[in-house]
Structure 1
Amino acid sequence: MTVPNRNLVSHRDVRELRGPLMVVGDADGVGWDEFAGVDVEGGPERHALVLEVNGDQALLQVLEGTDGMRLGGISVRFQGRALHIPVGPEWLGRVCNGRGEPLDGGPPVTADTVEPVGGWPLNPVYRIPPKEAVITGISAIDALTTLVRGQKLPIFSVAGLPHLTLATQIAAQSRTGGRNFRVVFAAMGMTHADIAYIRDRLEERSAAGELVLLLNAADDPVIERILTPRIALSIAEHLAYEEGSDVLVVMSDMTSYAEAVREVSAARKEIPARRGYPGYLYSDLATLYERCGRVQGREGSVTIVPVLTMPSGDMTHPVPDLTGYITEGQIVLSPDISARDIYPPVDVLSSLSRLMRSGAGKGRTREDHLDVAAQVLAAMARARQASELAELVGEDALGEADRAYIAFRSAVEEKLLNQGVDEYRSLERTLGLAWEALALLPRRELSMISNESLDRYLPGPLGGARL
């Protein structure tokens, strides 16, 4: 966080304190989202953001809260600009709170360049399409919902599922072929136990100087939760577009973020929209998600994986619903699959990566990748139908093909999708497991794969040449 300019005029006309909010009068010329330093008699300096301006009054949210503050003992110094942070490779290897203040015992992060946490608008003309796969080492993602460099691909989960485990595994293992790869992990509204888990899981990557950790705890100020992803993205944008790195930004949990937005909106007495969230939640989320991508003339890229929990598993809840409109697919975790002791519990038939064709296939991953993914998904849909039929009439009453599909589904879940929480699988290994599962089906059922690929990759005598 940048140090406020102490040469600015101090305003002492503080008219009201309510919760984390403060009303300052005689604030002509103050702008929305402006950053301010707050001097409190007998206490350390605090910081605030302007939420609203009405005439000569400004409504500010104090990041550290207003506890211990009293009218008459406060002075406010407006900086004349939005919150800026230093950006650069100095962030790599650091562990900080949601405001960018060190938690690792090191000095504050400093750099010659500072940027606003809200980022800069990007001319769409200079955007170029995402391409090339980000290999996560997780078969369920790499094989069937491939993450592409420059994409925004969220994880939809439910409370109690291992979405944090999956998020940290993605952050720990992901890479792009032969390129400079960095990870920024923004945790929002986490318990202290979760924060300790994240630090432990990502210690190796952090020690290697490839990771930035921003950790906002559930008992930290609400406004900090709103700043955390913006600070993370400002750091990532500089590493990508100025330093030439491919940067993966993992943000968890976006539902906690949205609840913080709702809480601030309620404190401002705004008219609520659906389920109490403000009507601008869509545009607010878009200001985060749309900061990913690739830029013409720049080597690096920003890829975003937001993680969110759906209350009661409701995908029509405003947070997953609006996220789905903005992003390019979703990875859906299922309680039913988790109950079968499968990790990660990805529901492949509900999951989708809309940009998969831009990052997978010939010249990118492997020439059979897209056809194999399509065949596995089609066969999983047929296997679901066969399983439902077996529940009605019994498996013995099914035909040979239906029984083969049920065996195929078991093989996919137990071998292809199921893996260890610390297990990294190469793409070759992942596709090999997919082919082993497909080998359980009659060759005539594999109509989405070319004969050339069947002869080359299908296990069995003569490339699985059977009826």
Structure 2
Amino acid sequence: MKEYQTITEISGPLVFVEVDEPIGYDEIVEIETPDGEIKRGQVLESSTGIVAIQVFEGTTGLNRQASVRFLGETMKMPVTEDLLGRVMDGSGKPIDGGPDIVPEERRDIVGEAINPYSREYPEEFIQTGVSSVDGMNTLVRGQKLPIFSASGLPHNDLALQIARQATVPEEAGDEGEGTEFAVIFGAMGITAEEANEFMEDFERTGALERSVVFMNLADDPAVERTVTPRLALTTAEYLAFDKGYHVLVILTDMTNYCEALREIGAAREEVPGRRGYPGYMYTDLATLYERAGRIKGREGSVTQIPILTMPGDDDTHPIPDLTGYITEGQIMMDRDLNSQGIEPPVNVLPSLSRLMDDGIGEGLTRDDHADVSDQMYAAYAEGEDLRDLVNIVGREALSERDNKYLDFAERFENEFIQQGYHTNRSIEETLNVGWNLLSMLPKDELNRIDEELIEKYYEEADAIEAEA
């Protein structure tokens, strides 16, 4: 281990050091100040004679008299099953007052790409207990399904609800009794208030016992945010593929992660891409998102729900735009629904789950799931279009049929989407609510549902409505 005292420049979170030997990319570095304080960093760029180091704890207090030691290894995460129930900071150090972690092994946080040939196709339904997800944009085990939100919307409440309630039902028609997920929660750049809310909810509901929490707060160094999701995903891969857990990884907020990339890029004086973000941001995000999946012959799985806030509510912004290219759909939060008091305020029309068709249907959920979802989409979309028309001509000018679709849209929002953050609906309950709403429409309007299913479920919905 060689030690250098040849710092030439300190720029933002970066330290530049002259060296006389080749230094490996991503190599871990210790920087010791003259007063004995030690900071950790990572090699960000290595060229002949000069090395750029990103410092995790920030460069405050560093000067050119500091000593730099290259440790000869990349950053590793100590992994063990005992991590469940623990709370770590953004760099993987325990902050819950518990005992030191005794790892079974230490794993490189960059991870290894899953060989496409070894991937198992995702097709096992995950029951989140949230009707707007389960019924309309179904999550599948091994999928990556982001939540697109905006500043001020309750995306954290939805994330906590999914973390509490997510299960893999054992068979179709199951009432929610199934395999629970281990939850890896990676928070990047959140406020202390948000962190307290997360921890209170985890502790109150008992979810912490099956969770590993990584917390990078808003006042922590921004550069640490580039490490936090990789620590979380390394832990998830260990629990899933070595210990057989079904792991749900929730990463919030990816916007803060991308802002950290932009800050580092500016410090390196890189040529910026769209809106100042690095040109390699697509590749960088893909290295995180593509770590979700299943492996043939392995029992466990890694399912990802990244959360991002769209700057200016703009879904064409580079962060949601690139995320949408990489992931298999998105759950869209809606400001108008939130202002109406709908919980959770999920707008199902622009939302999408590209793997939904493979995760629903007979033997997976219920034989009517796909048809009910398609019919509710079509009916709600027509009701939304008619709302615009009502603003022009008034409701009295509409036909009886059109008024039924308007009523459907209103009840759909207030009965199907609206359920609160503490109601856990099984897929049976979700589809029954759907049939109850579709019973408002004449049978001849249900042109997306098989006639056998109409005979089987439509009358049941009539009976439910009559009893009510």
TM class by smaller structure: over 0.9
- Over residues 59-111 of structure 1, what are the superposed CA-to-partner deviations in whole Å (9 max), with x where a residue is unaligned? 11111122222222x22221222101111212110011111111211133231
Note if 1:324 corresponds to 2:316: no
1:463, CA displacement in angstroms? 9.4
Contact 2:22 2:48 in 1 (8 A): no
Note if 1:334 corresponds to 2:338: no
1:346, CA displacement in angstroms? 1.0
**CA distance in structure 1 between the aligned counterparts of 2:341 and 2:447, rounded to whole angstroms:** 31
Q: Which moved more, 1:278-287 or 1:27-36?
A: 27-36
Q: Which residue of the partner structure matches residue 373 of structure 1? A: 373
SS in 1 for 2:37: coil
Note if 1:172 corresponds to 2:172: no
TM-score calculated relative to the size of structure 1: 0.95
Note if 1:291 corresponds to 2:253: no
- Over residues 410-459 of structure 1, what are the superposed CA-to-partner deviations in whole Å (9 max), with x where a residue is unaligned? 11100110011122111111111111111111111111112222222224
Give the paired residue count.
Answer: 457
SS in 1 for 2:312: helix
Contact 1:94 1:206 in 2 (8 A): no
Q: Which residue of the partner structure matches residue 390 of structure 2? A: 390
Q: 2:46 aligns with which of 53, 77, 89?
A: 53
**CA distance in structure 2 between the aligned counterparts of 1:32 and 1:254, rounded to whole angstroms:** 24
Q: What is the letter of the counterpart of residue 297 of structure 1?
A: G
TM-score calculated relative to the size of structure 2: 0.94
**CA distance in structure 1 between the aligned counterparts of 2:449 and 2:227, rounded to whole angstroms:** 47
- Over residues 11-50 of structure 1, what are the superposed CA-to-partner deviations in whole Å (9 max), with x where a residue is unaligned? 2222222332211112522111111122223233210011
Q: Which moved more, 1:116-125 or 1:23-32?
A: 23-32
Q: Which residue of the partner structure matches residue 81 of structure 1? A: 73
Cα gap change, 1:50/1:460 in structure 2, threshold over 3 Å: closer, same or farther? Answer: closer
Give the aligned CA root-mean-square deviation in angstroms: 1.7
Cα gap change, 1:41/1:437 in structure 2, threshold over 3 Å: closer, same or farther? Answer: same
Cα gap change, 1:291/1:30 in structure 2, threshold over 3 Å: closer, same or farther? Answer: same
Q: Which residue of the partner structure matches residue 3 of structure 1? A: none
Contact 1:455 1:462 in 2 (8 A): no
Q: 2:106 aligns with which of 114, 120, 139?
A: 114
Q: Which residue of the partner structure matches residue 173 of structure 2? A: none
Q: Which residue of the partner structure matches residue 28 of structure 1? A: 21
- Over residues 188-236 of structure 1, what are the superposed CA-to-partner deviations in whole Å (9 max), with x where a residue is unaligned? 1101001001111222465662111111101101111111111100000
Cα gap change, 1:117/1:383 in structure 2, threshold over 3 Å: closer, same or farther? Answer: same
- Over residues 159-198 of structure 1, what are the superposed CA-to-partner deviations in whole Å (9 max), with x where a residue is unaligned? 1111111112111221112335211011111010010011
Contact 1:134 1:146 in 2 (8 A): yes
Cα gap change, 1:27/1:254 in structure 2, threshold over 3 Å: closer, same or farther? Answer: farther
SS in 2 for 1:187: strand
Contact 1:457 1:463 in 2 (8 A): no
Cα gap change, 1:461/1:227 in structure 2, threshold over 3 Å: closer, same or farther? Answer: closer
Q: Percent identity?
A: 46
**CA distance in structure 1 between the aligned counterparts of 2:219 and 2:165, rounded to whole angstroms:** 30
Q: Which residue of the partner structure matches residue 119 of structure 2? A: 127
Structure 1: state its 5+ residue gaps: 1-7
Over 4 Å off, 4+ runs: 204-208, 460-464
- Over residues 287-330 of structure 1, what are the superposed CA-to-partner deviations in whole Å (9 max), with x where a residue is unaligned? 00000001111111100011111111111100000001001111
Contact 2:439 2:462 in 1 (8 A): no
Contact 2:5 2:64 in 1 (8 A): no
Match runs of 1:14-413 below 5 Å? 14-72=7-65, 74-177=66-169, 178-179=178-179, 181-204=181-204, 209-413=209-413
1:394, CA displacement in angstroms? 1.3
